[in-house]
A and B are shown apart, each in its own frame.
Chain A
Amino acid sequence: MTEPVLAIRGLQVRFRTGDGILQAVKGVDIDINAGETVAIVGESGSGKSQTMMSVMGLLASNGWAEGSVKYRGQELVGLSPEKLNNYRGSKLTMIFQEPMTSLDPLYRIGDQLALPLTTHGGLSKTKARERAIELLELVRIPDPKRRIDSYPHELSGGQRQRVMIAMALANNPDVLIADEPTTALDVTVQARILELLSDLQKRLGMSIVFITHDLGVVRRFATRTYVMKSGQVVESGETSALFASPKHPYTKMLIDAEPRGRKEPAPAGAPMVLDAKNIEVNFATKSGWFGKTSHVLRAVDNVSLSVRAGETIGVVGESGSGKSTLGRAVLRLLPASGTVRFEDRALMPLDRAGMRPLRRHLQLVFQDPFGSLSPRMTAGEIVTEGLLVHEPRMSRKERDRRAAQAFEEVRLEPAWRNRFPHEFSGGQRQRIAIARAMILHPKLVVLDEPTSALDRSVQKEIVDLLRDLQKTHGLAYVFISHDLAVVRALSDEIMVMKSGKVVERGTAQDIFERPKEDYTRDLIAAAFLNQQEPDATPLAS
């Protein structure tokens, strides 16, 4: 093998923080060879991003790197920003996780694209503009001659990421570092961006470094893989070999954490818990002094949904498909039209006060474990807030006992109930949110992307917990998610939503094995293109 393009040796990254010095990367060796695709895999906090940030000299001002990073023999660590500018942007480039904010909102994309061209390529303004149009064409932005004069906010997230790629490729780099380039995007867009990257690599021949937590991406694209955990590389090698026989327990755990298993069907003849028909939700965009309605957006369009005790309905769709709105509408948290029956009661005619006694049976768990817990209340107070409403006569001591019980049920240390939300990790916070819903012994829980903000290994624990709780209490779930792997592992029935309408519905098996609609097929292809079926046979968890 020829000498690597990029050779990282003994790289260490430290940050000076309020609580002393924090070491994020603890001596990492990585080689990137010409024209290959390398993946660096790890969960949040593993130091994978900081490793590559330090290569590019982009560490935050309180951080510094030690060790060696050589680009074709030239040492990069310790180089002044001016010297480093000879390499970054031309030889080494990077694209980031946040396409929505990575472009300057105040400049036209043509002007931003021209910057690396005029600076490094020495092109004139007019030449740079011509080349910028070529680049936009290269990344398949439609109508580049017009788009070049757009501002970033006029482009979609996927298009912005394409512009970022165009900027990164402007000077034919040797190495392109992609830091979770598709995480913030919808699955179908994700798939297209990844395809574009692999296609461009074939045409231009640069090396790509994928920083990702998504094993699917790794399996599909990377020739070699480095697995990182708490600032160290724990395992590396050819991707296929690594996946076939992982050696390090952490790698095994990561691979194992892919959601698997199927839901056992709900007992036949289980009672209907919630029956919603013809739900419609309209959002009016208001303008003017006294809110003249100028524009109506139909977020949910004539959707019906029913769920029995012990049953899970999966609702899948991309952002803006109306799936979360639907979840809130059936709980009467949003104004909606249609009919909703809970057991034998019609909910629509009830007002706020009339709904209140029923709220204990109808619960909601949110996506964001950071935003859904009031930051100035203790975990115990948060969990027992529902008891204050529904069992106002309960003594403080009894509430405390119930809090401890609920903590145990979600497998959290009960002694921690006097801690505050910020003292818990993301997965623990989601458990608190689940405990808050469960303490009232609800009959139906709407789960709005409860695992999306979590690392895969934590996701798996939450999924297992939800399954157990359903089994013990005979809960009915409405499970809203964009993550088809999780939905498949948890649902009896699945509804696919797009622009507020149900595109397709059916049993989990039917949807995944015999999708009828193109859109469903796209979704499945996008989500699974990176995953060989981990398990074809149903597996009891």
Chain B
Amino acid sequence: MLSYILRRLLSAIPTLLLIVTIAFFLIRLAPGGPFDLERPLEAKVMENLNKIYQLDKPLIEQYWLYLSAVVRGDFGPSFILRDFTVGELFARGLPVSMTLGGLALSFAILVGGTLGAVAALRQNSLIDYVVTGMGALGLTIPNFVVAPVLQIVLGLALAWLPIAGWNGGAPLNLVMPVIVLALPQIAVVARMTRAAMIENLRSNHIRTLRSLGLPSLTIVVHALRGAALPVISYLGPAAAALLTGSVVVETIFGLPGIGRYFVEGALNRDYTLVMGTVVVVAVFVLLFNLVVDILYAIIDPRIRYD
């Protein structure tokens, strides 16, 4: 197992390299540059800036410089937030995004899993219809609709929660963003758990357990374990996306996460910031794919990676 993990980590390196390469050249090919402001800068100033940020060198050399810097863990200075390096920005933003994402993820697994399992056990009952109906709703209402509605209802009308802001991660400030992040995930998890549970409950080995007169708790445990597999393989990429922040939620609730950096960086041609975000997101995706595979091997003895 350990050697498998090691091999997988090693094999992630070429993938990562490919992603960095594609992203690097894509953003460089995009029209415009980081210092194209509304009011064009003087040619002299521009030249100086380009020199400082090494933009005057041939693209291939810049690519090489960037790669070697990244290997050393240096993501370079940000072009728009000039007082910070990209590393510093992530050091601040990542914990915020990960806290929110982690909470939303746990919330989604707990609530979605429970609802899905209950709906499957009481198939075609009222609970089942309510869960599937809510699931459809959670999937279709965009988060940028849910968020302002929650702000109005919980924040203004009832005044139970602060409308926005991070406030050092105070629990009350986290409630609304976490709910907004978790809602669609709850819907998906509930839907998948329900479908997988129903299929599992119909399977031959559950029939065997029932023929042996075992209590329903035992049967539910067995069915849940089997149903976990497809849900886990969905949750891998979903977790990566959640933990790396959401532009919408961070914008609406004014949170200092890293979700915004993608949009801001790309629109302002902040090359280093975009590249840094690409690397962080890709690392998360690859990491969680590995986690999914490991979990699979733990749950399903038929899968062995030796």
Contacts and interface: CB of A to CB of B under 8 A. Distances in A.
Q: Do chains A and B touch in the complex (CB under 8 A)?
A: yes
Interface of A: 56-58, 60-61, 81-82, 84-90, 93-94, 96, 98, 101-108, 115-116, 119-120, 151, 153, 164, 167-168
Interface in B289-306: 299-302
Interface stretch (B77-85, B89-97, B145-153, B201-209): B201-209
Nearest to A179: B211
Contacts of A120: 213
A103 B300 CA distance: 13
8 contacts: A85-B213, A96-B208, A101-B205, A102-B205, A106-B222, A106-B225, A116-B214, A119-B218
A90 B213 contact: yes
Contacts of A105: 205, 300-302
B167 interface: no
B43 interface: no
Contacts of B302: 105, 151, 153
Interface string B230-243: 00000000000000
Q: Of residues B204, B208, B213, B300, which shows the largest number of chain A Cβ atoms within 10 Å of its Cβ?
A: B213
A101 B213 contact: no
Contacts of B225: 106
A107 to B, nearest CB: 7
Contacts of B203: 101
B210 A106 contact: no
Nearest to A88: B213
Given A101-B204, A102-B207, A167 B212 contact: yes
Interface residues on B, range: 20 to 34
Q: Of residues B202, B208, B222, B226, which shows the largest number of chain A Cβ atoms within 10 Å of its Cβ?
A: B208
Nearest to B300: A106
Contacts, number: 83
B212 A164 contact: no
Given A61-B123, A104-B222, A115 B205 contact: no
A89 B204 CA distance: 16
B40 interface: no
A57 B202 CA distance: 14
Given A98-B204, A102-B204, A89 B301 contact: no
Interface in B180-223: 202-216, 218, 222
A93 B209 contact: no
Contacts of A94: 211
A471 to B, nearest CB: 44
Nearest to A177: B211
A89 B211 contact: yes
Contacts of B215: 82, 85, 119
A103 B208 CA distance: 7
Given A101-B203, A105-B301, A168-B212, 15 more contacts: A82-B216, A88-B211, A96-B204, A98-B204, A102-B205, A104-B206, A104-B209, A106-B226, A106-B300, A106-B301, A116-B213, A119-B218, A120-B213, A167-B208, A167-B212
A92 to B, nearest CB: 8
A104 B205 contact: yes
Interface string B91-124: 0000000000000000000000000000000010
Interface string B170-181: 000000000000
A102 B203 CA distance: 8
Contacts of B208: 96, 102-104, 164, 167
